[in-house]
Amino acid sequence: MLNKVYPSPAAALDGLLHDGMTIAVGGFGLCGIPEQLIIALRDSGTKGITAISNNAGVDEWGLGLLLKTRQIRRMISSYVGENAEFERQYMAGELELEFNPQGTLAERLRAGGAGIAGFFTKTGVGTIVADGKEVREFDGESYVFERGIRTDLSLVKAWRADTSGNLVFRKTARNFNPMVATAGKRCVAEVEEIVAIGQLDPDQIHTPGIFVDRVVKTVSEKRIEQRTIRQA
């Protein structure tokens, strides 16, 4: 079996990056984001990126780091309300944005990874989401056509991996990461723990190693997106 483990996030991205590329990034809020791979991507200087992610991180963390350095040209996303720099760039016409309903975005990524060119969904019919898209009737109901998403690269965060790239996600981190992993032509996984082949229960593997090209072990910096405290 091929050993896919790399010594650092920068090494794991080496040779995979180019200006103008599309990159899908896993995570839900700040949970399950490939934080160290994002930092390495920032440090690479790659620009003109189209980023596909459920959200845009926050100021100074996650994809917010790439917004600060103006490396993202276009976002395909569901929720961007926690990032003031995103708002500023978008309102100033400096950043392109394609909004997707959350479930539609997840299915577009899953479909792309499964080799499905597109699908029809009821979500968004009769709204601006459907503008410019084909609408077709099935069983008396209207459905809008959505394209599957394929990207140049996928960046994901997993809890555990083996050396051949089989991944196990933990709790909320499983929301978008599995679909993101399969949608990329190449996939790099940042993980908290790496074990030998055979040490993962096959029934617990969420993403098979066939979808994962490179794995890097990092130490997580767990930040809270919205900290709420009770006054004494």
Separation CA 224–CA 39 (nearest Å):
18
Examine residue 80 and state whether it is found in any structural domain, yes or no: yes
pLDDT value of position 1: 61
Q: How many domains is the chain built from?
A: 1
CA–CA distance, 100 with 108 (Å, rounded to integer) = 10
> What is residue 134's predicted lDDT score, i.e. its pLDDT?
98
State the pLDDT confidence band at 32, using cuts at 50, 70 and 90.
very high
Instruction: Tell me, yes or no, whether 27 lies in a domain.
Output: yes
The radius of gyration computed from the CA coordinates of the chain, to the nearest angstrom, equals 18
pLDDT at position 88 is 93
Determine the pLDDT at residue 49. Answer: 98
Using a pLDDT cut of 70, give the percent of the chain over it: 99
In a domain, 232, yes or no: no
* Range from 148-157, 197-206, 219-228 carrying the lowest mean pLDDT: 219-228
In a domain, 228, yes or no: no
pLDDT band (50, 70, 90) for residue 227: confident
Distance, in Å, from the CA atom of 102 to the CA atom of 49, rounded to the nearest integer, reads 21
Query: Is residue 225 situated within a structural domain?
Result: no
The helix (run of H) or strand (run of E) holding residue 5 is strand 5-6
Exposure string of 139-167, with b = 16+ CB inside 10 Å and e = fewer, is eeeebbebebbbbbbbbbbbbbbbbbbbb
Confidence of residue 19 (pLDDT cuts 50, 70, 90): very high
Task: State the CB neighbour count (10 A cutoff) for residue 82.
Answer: 19
CATH of the domain at 114: 3.40.1080.10
**Mean pLDDT (the chain, rounded):** 95
pTM of the complete model: 0.93
Residue 63 lies in a domain: yes
Task: Answer yes or no: is pLDDT of 155 > 80.
Answer: yes
What pLDDT, in 10s, does the model give residues 54-109? Answer: 999 888 899 999 999 999 999 999 988 888 899 999 999 999 999 999 999 999 99
In a domain, 59, yes or no: yes
Domain assignment present for residue 230? The answer is: no
Beta-strand pair 184-195/167-168? unpaired
Range of the domain at 100: 5-217
